[in-house]
Chain A
Amino acid sequence: MKDYILSLRNLRRAFGGIVAVADVSLDIEANKIVAIIGPNGAGKTTLFNLITGYYLPTRGEIWFQNKLLNGVSAPKRVEMGIARTFQHILLFPHMTVLENVMTGRHSRSRAGFIEAALRLPRFHREEESITLEATRYLNLVGLGQYAGQEAISMPYGQQKLIAIARALASEPKLLLLDEPGAGLNTMEKRDLTDLLQRIKEMSITIVLVEHDMDMVMRVAEWVIVLDVGRKLAEGTGAQIQRDEKVIAAYLGEDDL
């Protein structure tokens, strides 16, 4: 029996008349890098939103490490070990780079209003630990020296890295990256693929939505193809490149 970290069973999500995700079933093996590709509107981001709990499914089940996620709140899922980044990055304004990554430690700390207001010992302990850990993750993506900068004033490519550091700071077992390569130049993309390898070596499963097929071929061990909300095909990069259905779906797109 393979060790599946994430399993979807007949997952469906409709918005009124529009079915964004239609009866998708798939399994993700632990500690692999898996890519989800598909033409625009295929339902990839919706899938992420369902996994993180931002959307509720219309039907179907989501299993994470053999535990049923249906009914589990989004913050709880982060605690269980699911983290994500966004297509539009969504770094927090009015906060420094380090503070953004520190928010990633939220699920791994407990001090609340009372501890903060009264400056109880737990608050001090945790603040120190939060700062240390956040710095560590920031260094991991190579941006340690920018800790005190205002996050949203950083260049686009570096903002994407900060977002990844923020996601990593919650110590996930499953990392969902939504178009991490979008808007990056070739050098930055190479750095990104190196980073992804390093993350995989930390025993973190990576699922990424990507449009850049070169990057997908280089880094993904398994590829799942979605089209109009359905799973069209899955396999290794080479396999899906030859798949007729996939080619037909992409006809007219320049990616393949």
Chain B
Amino acid sequence: MPKRLFRWQYALVALVFAGLVLLPFSGDAYYTAIFIIIAIHSMLVIGLCLLMGYTGQVSLGHAAFYGMGAFISAILTVTYNWSPWLAMPLAALSTGVIAYLIGLPLLRLRGNYLAMGTLGMGIIFFILFNELDQYTGGPSGLPGVPGLSVGGFSFDTDFRYYYLVWSVCAVMLLVSWNIIRSRTGRALRAIHGSEAASEAVGIDVPQFKIKVFVLSAIFASIAGSLYVHYLSYVSPNPFEFMFSIRLVVMAVIGGLANIWGAVFGTGAVTMMDQHLGTFGELDVILFGLILVLVMIFMPRGLVPGIVGLWEKWKNRRTKAKA
């Protein structure tokens, strides 16, 4: 993965960072709320980028893990009166274990089979969320999910929740960044490059695939928990197939092997959604079109693609000058 950061990229990152830190102070309730959702979705996409961009495995059912975290947190806090701070880690752990058990057989599948397998998994869990209504509340869901608080400090305003979720997102980014720049990260990139050669240097390919799968599931679960404590409500509706596809779109646009791009892709797609959602099915049509065009012309993702074009254009200009 090219890690050469140009000067303007540093400036851009600083600008985005400053913007993110300062946004709630602008008092704009609408955008604050949207960016809370962007942070939560970014957590999902980061895991997906690790999975798809670094081990080259497609997951078309990631909403399932999002839903697991959401429902386990909701059920434990609403039905059993657990503290959210106990429920969330337990949800993450349970989701991780379930992901491990599913991953063992599922990740033996390759390419298209794996894609279909994850698709099927996503659909099965969506059906389970809907049908196990004595626990999940069925299609109407569970209301009354408590908010989050530490001691006397309550995260009951969007302002406070914004910083909470973005802090968690930042930690996930850091964790992922650390993993990428390590022996583990090299192993992941190796697997993506050539599984045969990876095996030849002693990398246990199936183990790594499962571990990344579990890690991405845990990220998704945490996102799910944060989501329901924000909404004070859970229902199966958000965890359907199209959402899993949207996550893939966000990952693709940001650049599959680029976790920073994950945040960008999530933001871009969410904003586009907001502004196009009113024009009938235009957002759906555009999604499809973007997916196709980006994958044809910029297979490594939109952000790397644009950066690549920029570099080519720069080279051509310097050549013309010389």
Q: Which residues of A contact B (CB under 8 A)?
A: 52-54, 73-75, 78-79, 83-86, 90-95, 99, 102-107, 109, 111-113, 115-119, 123, 126-127, 130, 166-167, 169-170
B-chain residues with CB within 8 Å of residue A106 when the two chains form the complex: 183, 186-187, 201-203
A-chain residues with CB within 8 Å of residue B184 when the two chains form the complex: 111-113, 116
Indicate whether A117 sits within 8 Å of B178 (C-beta atoms), given known contacts A90-B196, A95-B193. Answer: yes
Contact A116 B179 (CB under 8 A): yes
Nearest 3 A/B pairs, CB to CB: A107-B202, A78-B202, A116-B182
A-chain residues with CB within 8 Å of residue B197 when the two chains form the complex: 86, 90-92
CA distance A61 to B211 in the complex (A): 32
CA distance A86 to B194 in the complex (A): 11
Indicate which residue in A75, A90, A91 contacts B204 across the interface (CB closer than 8 Å).
A75
B-chain residues with CB within 8 Å of residue A126 when the two chains form the complex: 183
CA distance A183 to B196 in the complex (A): 22
Indicate whether A94 sits within 8 Å of B179 (C-beta atoms), given known contacts A75-B202, A83-B200, A106-B203. Answer: no
CA distance A52 to B203 in the complex (A): 13
Contact A167 B200 (CB under 8 A): yes
CA distance A211 to B16 in the complex (A): 58
User: Smallest CB–CB gap between B186 and chain A, Å?
Assistant: 5
Indicate whether A111 sits within 8 Å of B186 (C-beta atoms), given known contacts A74-B199, A106-B201, A170-B202. Answer: no
Select from chain B the residue with minimum beta-carbon distance to A74: B199
Contact A116 B178 (CB under 8 A): yes
CA distance A111 to B185 in the complex (A): 11
Interface residues of B in 1-30 (CB under 8 A from A): 1-2
Indicate which residue in B175, B183, B190 contacts A109 across the interface (CB closer than 8 Å).
B183
User: Smallest CB–CB gap between B307 and chain A, Å?
Assistant: 14
Question: Is B215's beta carbon under 8 Å from chain A?
Answer: yes
| Contact indicator per residue, chain B 163-206, by CB within 8 Å of chain A (1) or not (0) | 00000000000010011011111110110111011111111100
List 9 additional A-B contacts (Cβ < 8 Å) besides A75-B204, A83-B200, A103-B190: A78-B202, A83-B201, A90-B194, A99-B186, A102-B183, A103-B203, A115-B182, A116-B179, A116-B184
Select from chain A the residue with minimum beta-carbon distance to B207: A75
19 sample A-B contacts, Cβ–Cβ < 8 Å, listed by A number: A53-B199, A54-B199, A84-B200, A90-B194, A92-B190, A92-B198, A94-B1, A94-B257, A95-B186, A102-B186, A103-B198, A103-B201, A104-B201, A106-B183, A106-B203, A107-B202, A116-B184, A117-B175, A117-B179
Interface residues of B in 195-243 (CB under 8 A from A): 196-204, 211, 215
Question: B185, B199, B202, B203 — which one has the most chain A CB atoms within 10 A of its CB?
Answer: B202
Indicate whether A127 sits within 8 Å of B183 (C-beta atoms), given known contacts A75-B204, A106-B203. Answer: yes
CA distance A225 to B203 in the complex (A): 32
User: Smallest CB–CB gap between B201 and chain A, Å?
Assistant: 5
Contact B201 A107 (CB under 8 A): yes
B-chain residues with CB within 8 Å of residue A111 when the two chains form the complex: 182-184
Select from chain B the residue with minimum beta-carbon distance to A151: B193
User: Smallest CB–CB gap between B161 and chain A, Å?
Assistant: 25
A-chain residues with CB within 8 Å of residue B193 when the two chains form the complex: 90-95
Select from chain B the residue with minimum beta-carbon distance to A176: B200
CA distance A183 to B211 in the complex (A): 39
CA distance A109 to B186 in the complex (A): 13
Contact A75 B183 (CB under 8 A): no
Select from chain B the residue with minimum beta-carbon distance to A79: B202
A-chain residues with CB within 8 Å of residue B181 when the two chains form the complex: 116
Question: A75, A93, A166 — which one has the most chain B CB atoms within 10 A of its CB?
Answer: A75
CA distance A119 to B182 in the complex (A): 9
| Contact indicator per residue, chain B 93-134, by CB within 8 Å of chain A (1) or not (0) | 000000000000000000000000000000000000000000
